Amino acid sequence: MKKIAVYNKIAQVGLEVFDKRTYQLADDIEGAEGLILRSAKLHDVAFPESLKAIARSGAGVNNIPVERCTEKGIVVFNTPGANANGVKELVICALILAARDVVGGVNWVSTLQGEADVAKAVENGKGAFVGGELAGKTLGVIGLGAIGGSVANAATALGMNVIGYDPYITPKAAWSLAPSVKQASGYEEIFKKSDYITLHVPATEQTKNMICEKSIAQMKKGVKILNFARADLVCAEDMKGALAAGKVAKYATDFPTNDIVGVEGVLAIPHLGASTYESEDHCAVMAAKQLHEYLACGNITNSVNFPSVSLPHTSFARACLLHENVPNMLTQITSVFSAAGINIDNLANGSKGQVAYTIVEISSAPDQEIVEKLQSIGGVIRVLTY
């Protein structure tokens, strides 16, 4: 029986992936082989030696100590694209709310209760909430992954001129873009040409505070900025200064903080991007399936710290090795099996930066001595057998 620790409220449709005959679901991590979670913070959590993988039901992994997991041979999964439609729809909503003061108008109407003639009051007062249209305006999209690409395509359907930039765009993402989405030469072109800018990149050392006094200075006066990616992408103090000066007309964000709540010009949404029934279900199912596949046969899909490597499990047994990406590693691994007289039926290997992953399909189950020899190879982090 494999134990899965469940942190946060995971959609039941996702938990149903774990067959009760094989898996035990629990709320504690002691002795667990897998962990599935949403936003619980793990940086101060001590991981048991039994833990093999963590699955995040969502895209961001800032709540997980990924580097420590890599060192211990714990595979970290996320669910890119599972909540893309939910976030995309909210971003489009925010674009409209940023263009027109719908929120202000709705709040004003709520004050008219008790008026003798509400319809007349509305006609007299609606002029205070006039806004602009999106059609013909330029939207700059920074980050063209599952969410950014979907936003770009939807904005073109609204008649916007869309330019995008992503230095790490994948071929799949590029093929998914509408032909009318223009490629910008860099962030600077986005800043200079856009009436609206929307952010869809992860929070890293390189992207933290990418929207700051320096970048805002390159933008059009009256630009509207949307942040539905991570709070850390925008310097709150610089944004407040730009709003007060009129350089930025509106800042819409899904990440309210003490610094921006109540600031004029800020449209703060309570982190609703993936808060749809559909997104929560999709993320839970995707995370659970990836965790199950790894614990069942060692296949990796959508890991943030190890490469995606999969093989059909057709042989009698397999050994899976998490190791450093160094020369001569495959030769050393295969020679251990050769010396033991074990035939290798199939092999798959992949690398990701400084680490790599190898699956070896073999004709007979390796004994403890072979596992120890594999583990003793310099650069091998962890060996798992199935």
Asked if the domains at 84-268 and 306-386 fall in one CATH topology, the answer is no
**H or E stretch covering 122:** helix 118-125
C-alpha–C-alpha distance, residues 238 and 272, integer Å:
24
The confidence score (pLDDT) of residue 351 equals 97
Predicted local distance difference test score (pLDDT) of residue 60: 83
CATH topology of domain 306-386: Alpha-Beta Plaits (3.30.70)
Q: With a cut of 70, which residues of the chain have pLDDT below it?
A: none
What pLDDT does residue 59 have? 84
**Residue 180 neighbours by CB distance under 10 Å:** 13
Whether the pTM exceeds 0.85: the reply is no
Taking the C-alpha atoms of residue 179 and residue 31, their distance in angstroms, rounded to an integer, is: 51
**pLDDT value at residue 333:** 97
Q: How far is the C-alpha of 288 from the C-alpha of 281, rounded, in Å?
A: 11
CATH superfamily of 84-268: NAD(P)-binding Rossmann-like Domain (3.40.50.720)
pLDDT of residue 42: 98
Q: Say what angle helices 84-99 and 146-157 make with each other, to 10 degrees.
A: 50
Q: What is the pLDDT of residue 138?
A: 98
CA 157 to chain centre: 25
* pLDDT reported for residue 274: 86
Distance CA 277, CA 154 (A): 21
pLDDT of residue 339: 95
Into which CATH architecture does domain 1-83+276-305 fall?
Answer: 3-Layer(aba) Sandwich (3.40)
**Under a CB-based contact definition with an 8 Å cutoff, are residues 164 and 180 in contact?**
no
Q: What is the pLDDT of residue 32?
A: 98
Q: Where are the domains of the chain?
A: 1-83+276-305, 84-268, 306-386
